[in-house]
Structure 1
């Protein structure tokens, strides 16, 4: 390591302080002991823990701590010895690749090429990094057939199947089972908040878009949450606290789930937004709580529908829009079929498989592959 690092024991070995480049972090012995990277603690092949962490002594102490050549050697009061790589230890709490929140004026140009991402791991990683960072990516050159996006899904997937099947049509039909299958405009929304789990990513492939209207809209829900917290803290608090339910029913399906419009993670930051006017059901809360919720929801709605945050785009045939369904709200303008056909195909890919593929590619491309190792 290039940075200057010192360690010292405090509180009779109940704390280990690591100082690096003017900053310090304190560690608890049990936290270090259960994360010991040695083969006695973790299986060398799977990386999974071999010791039962709950059986480690609560009064565990660190008896020795030495740093040399970027390594931290520790001796614990239970007799265990282990060695950490300091760089990995100090990066333990580092967040994943940062997200970049945006408004309409600063909206990113998030683009990828289908054939290149299909064949080249670096291009696929670039696409997935952009998707994670910006919440969406527009992919060009998708084959103009019903399942044209399937090969790229297979590089990441699997495809999430629902009651509507796998890759499904999004076009106007008679006796539509959902408002997406009509010509009406759709307000900004997130998809399927009535499912558990909610699909992580929406893949929307354009086969034809000659109808008058039908432009897509996107709004960054995390940016909307940030602005709401700044401008109306009480409304923000209300939308993180009150939990509506969401329901979808037809002749063969009854789906229901619940969650706040702004869901926070363990650090208190937005982890997911929900908005679905068509399927939301707010319970009969006390009158004051309902009034506060309705005012807060209106304030959020005005943000996600306002031009400050709304990105307008119209997909061309052969283009595909991949959307982070936990973060972005999407909608469309109404369209008239007299001007031509509007035919989209849509599928879902879950969040865990997408994140896994991105992280595996990050690790693989950061390390030179062995000659002949398959990608």
Structure 2
């Protein structure tokens, strides 16, 4: 059953729909009206100037029929909402599956299938969105072997290091990634604006002793910190360090909290980069709280509870959500052989767009097939 109740001089509407309850402002409903007078049918872009709608706008009538909410506003506009879609606007994304080491998934995809088949590409992108990473096999073992699959999704993000770059030990390394040392869990490039959304790490050879990759789900770490130490969690969502990278030709700096919240107050992004973090000179008592909170978070992301270890084989590629996963590696010894990986970045907007469009296209195709 669905019940609608006008509130606040009919400038708000309370809706109870199959156990879900929401309150909606009349102005919000008016500017989001899903009709051809308000939204362009092809682009979904708004045709009315929302800032010119009267602030006193109210709802003259509201009726529910066959799962649709029919509204008449005080400016004499009529529209109808699909109730399920209306409540989807309020929902927090339930499709992300947080994990720890004991129950970590191993999402896999095949390079050739994702390259040639939309359903396989869609499955790969959905797994990446859900689990924060995916392991792709069958990638051509050549320098730019990942490029054709990147081209299926969106443009390669170019940085001061170029496009697809080497990850291997070199003399006079300009970044610690290019040494043999182990790397603590971190997110990449928090000193950039915008931060690269997805890391693509392609293995050409990995015969060196050591060099295992480590992954930790940063959103799970944030959730556990909130449960176990709310004060530390609050501190890491509040304090905003800066991050900086410099070399002879580059000077990059940005800022943001170690745990960033979305509009619902839920963790949506983590940052952690011991090598590039610069904490401002806060009052000493506040720094004491921050340092303790950071240590608590560090112990989570480096502990056995959350740390997943894997070693990429030649022809495998790891795609990681750089807003969610922290990654690192163990130290390696070149006496055992060569470790040569290639790395590129793809931004979040193009990746999310491709995933959503494929989902809609495949759903439409399936619906048409069932009705034929």
TM-score by length of 1: 0.95
1:11/1:286 Cα in 2 relative to 1: closer, same or farther (>3 Å)? closer
Per the alignment, residue 240 of structure 1 pairs with: 237
Q: Which residue of structure 2 lines up, in the alignment, with residue 123 of structure 1?
A: 120
Aligned counterpart, 1:173 = 170
Cα distance, 1:370 vs structure 2:
11
Which residue, 78, 83, 88 being the options, matches 1:86? 83
CA distance in 1, matches of 2:227, 2:85: 35
Structure 2: stretches of 5+ with no match in the other structure:
none
Partner residue in 1 for 2:180: 183
Q: Which residue of 2 aligns with 1:16?
A: 13
| Cα deviation digits, residues 101-159 of structure 1 (max 9, x gap) | 11110111111111111111111111111111111110000011111001111111211
Cα offset for 1:285?
Answer: 1.1
Equivalent position of 1:357 in the other structure: 354
Q: Residue 152 of structure 2 aligns to a residue in which SS?
A: helix
Decide which moves more: 337-346 or 290-299. 290-299
Give yes or no for the alignment of 1:199 onto 2:234: no
1:94 deviates by 2.4
Deviates more, 1:90-99 or 1:218-227: 90-99
Distance 2:223 2:89 in 1: 26
- In the other structure, the counterpart of 1:155 is 152
Question: 1:272-291: CA deviations, max 9, x gaps?
Answer: 11111111111111111111
Query: What is the aligned partner in structure 1 of residue 274 from structure 2?
Result: 277
User: Residue 365 of structure 2: SS of its match in structure 1?
Assistant: coil
Q: CA 1:16 to 1:283, structure 2 compared with 1: closer, same or farther past 3 Å?
A: closer
Question: Which aligned pairs between 1:243-282 and structure 2 lie closer than 5 A?
Answer: 243-282=240-279
Q: What whole-Å deviation, never above 9, does each CA across 1:241-298 have from its counterpart, x for those lacking one?
A: 1111111100100001111111111111111111111111111111111111111111
- CA–CA separation in structure 2 for the residues paired with 1:222 and 1:171: 29
After TM superposition, give the deviation of residue 369 of structure 1 in Å: 7.5
CA distance in 2 between counterparts of 1:370 and 1:25 reads 30
In the alignment, is residue 293 of structure 1 matched against residue 290 of structure 2? yes
Q: Give the TM-score of the pair, scaled to structure 2.
A: 0.96
Q: Which residue of structure 1 lines up, in the alignment, with residue 26 of structure 2?
A: 29
Q: Where does structure 1 lack aligned partners over 5 or more consecutive residues?
A: none
| Distance in structure 2 (CA, Å) of the matches to 1:128 and 1:114 | 12
Aligned to 1:209: 206
CA distance in 2, matches of 1:330, 1:313: 11
Distance 1:341 1:158 in 2: 30
Q: What is the total number of aligned residue pairs between the two structures?
A: 368
